[in-house]
Amino acid sequence: MEKMDVSRRAALNRGEVEARNLAECLAINQSVLLKTVLSEIGMSKTADSVFAMADLSGTEGISHKMAKIGMALREALGNERYKEQIMQKMALHPSDTVRSWAAFVVARAADGMALEERLAAVRAFAADTHFGVREWAWMATRPYLAADIAQAIRCLTPWTADGDANIRRFSVESIRPRGVWCEHIKELKECPWKAEALLDRLHADSSRYVQDSVSNWINDASKSQPKWAQQLCERWSKNADGHSKRIISRALRTLSKKETSRQTTR
């Protein structure tokens, strides 16, 4: 991996620029970034608890660190007089990491919040122009979706018809059975057909970003329910266009590899 320029790293840690890739996301010193940003957005008086949490989570993986900083910010904001103005500054900040903290703040709001309201609050982050913010948006929301899959699917189904491919992709990626950097959803690993109607709505989506998410979803499910994955793809293949064919090919990649391996070992 190419070594990062010192001035580039400094700009990332000051929150002046977005990360260009995952390597830059991981290279950011979130404690340094917090100390720079929170004073700039008017939150220095309640920031000590957030700084402490960032320091305590310094050796943890980025997923746990982001969640803990987001929760600490949410608690601290409860004591801020100008909470809404501060949140607006975070949500529109030049740094994708700062916007991602804001995604956690709104997604991990009070437990009594209705799922529809939680999704509405995180929607802007799901549509963010930066890949990282979009990933943190679904990861921040995922525990609440996994807690009630039936309601999650009801709430996410309208998102599959949105004109923004990022929103359509969120509707699938957020409930992947196995996911990435997150806990698996046992209910969908065992019963992937519960999301079949939602997946059907995207089986010929023109966006490769959405296609990849749909195919990854089915590939996840194929590891525990191979017959269901095969039957779904067989049904889709009957009237498949180029978009569907690409999804089907990627969706069955694990099963295809297993079949190839089985044949070569005969």
pLDDT value, residue 46: 82
pLDDT value of position 233: 97
Q: Nearest Cα to 175, choosing from 163, 164, 187? A: 187
DSSP-derived secondary structure letter, 5: P
User: In Å, how far are 36, 45, 203 from 217, measured between CA atoms?
Assistant: 39, 44, 12
Rounded Cα distance between 199 and 222, Å, is 14
Q: What is the pLDDT of residue 56?
A: 81
- Helix (H) / strand (E) element for 210: namely helix 208-222
Q: Considering the entire predicted model, what is its pTM?
A: 0.92
Residue 261 has a pLDDT of 66
Give 226's contacts (C-beta < 8 A, 6+ positions apart).
Answer: 255
Residue ranges in the chain whose pLDDT is less than 70:
1-2, 261-266
Residue 266: per-residue pLDDT? 61
What span, in angstroms and rounded, lies between the C-alpha atoms of 88 and 99?
10
Q: Tokens in use for 29?
A: 């010193």
